[in-house]
Structure 1
Amino acid sequence: MQQFSSREKYMVSNTLNCWPIMLQGHSVLIDLQNETSVAGIIDIADGHMTCELIHAVFIDRNGGQHPFDHFMVRNRMIRQIHIPAHLDAEQELRKAMERGVLRRTRVETKKGKRTFKQKRADIRHKETLQMISQQKKEQKET
């Protein structure tokens, strides 16, 4: 597993910055802020969402395709990351939490209690998973 700074750990654990890390090794399409896109396999991603793609194809505004062996996307340039259709978002989040991508080391206080931030982060993760499962149920019903 990669070594993250404390700020990156916080961002990965509490925001959607975890997705590029979880999608390492998968082929993705990333829409950029300047109306262009890049498709490729995420090789390296950090806690700030900076991604390095291999076997990438840059798609310009006119639809022209330009192949690259390596392509780096800065976090502020990302508009949207398309999650591959064959992946189940809820299941991927659960796996990531189990294997440690989203796992936070528990900071024990003198009494062994968790901090308010830790409790709130756990609640937000559970709410996100519930929202995803509700959306799945709604899609199955329609």
Structure 2
Amino acid sequence: MQNFSAREKFLITNTLNCLPVLLQGRAVLIDLHNETSVAGIINIADGHMTCELTDAVFIDRNGEQHAFDNFMVRNRMIRLLHLPADLDIRTELLQQQQKRSGRFKKTNTKRTFKQKRAEDRHKETLDHITKQQNDNK
């Protein structure tokens, strides 16, 4: 388990920056802002969406492929992160949300306004994903 800073923990729990962390150990395709792509297995991801890929293949603008053992993608270069087809993102996000809500139930601390708002936003995102999945069926 990685040690995340307080800022990274906030970003992972309150934004979709959690996706690369959830996808660690899986093969992904990442489109970059400079019209290139990189495919590989996410080895390390942090709360800022900086990803370190292993067994990576870099695809340049001309479609030529270049193999790399390790490849690092900075967060500001990521345009699009393709999710694997076999991943049920709704289930993954629900599990993560339950982990967070379980923390508050075990302690006697009250949730702050920001925590409540973040939880509401995550619920809205999950509802939106569920609605899209139901529309596609």
TM > 0.5:
yes
Identity %: 65
Q: Deviations over 1:56-82 (max 9, x none)?
A: 000000000000000000000000000
Q: Secondary structure at the match of 2:116?
A: helix
Alpha-carbon distance in structure 1 between the residues aligned to 2:71 and 2:97: 28
Correspondence for 1:20:
20
Contact 1:22 1:96 in 2 (8 A): no
Count residues in correspondence.
Answer: 134
* Equivalent-residue separation in structure 2 for 1:70 and 1:26 (angstroms): 15
* TM-score after normalising by structure 1: 0.88
Any gaps of 5 or more consecutive residues in structure 1? none
Q: Distance in 2 between matches of 1:22 and 1:112?
A: 27
Alignment of 1:23-34 (within 5 A): 23-34=23-34
Question: Aligned partners of 1:48, 1:72: CA distance in 2, in Å?
Answer: 13
TM-score, structure 2 length as denominator? 0.91
CA distance in 2, matches of 1:47, 1:134: 27
Q: SS of 1:34's equivalent?
A: coil
Distance 1:96 1:126 in 2: 12
Q: Is there any run of 5+ residues in structure 2 with no aligned partner, and where? A: none
Q: CA RMSD in A?
A: 1.7
- Higher helix content, 1 or 2: 2
- Give the Å deviation of 1:112: 3.7
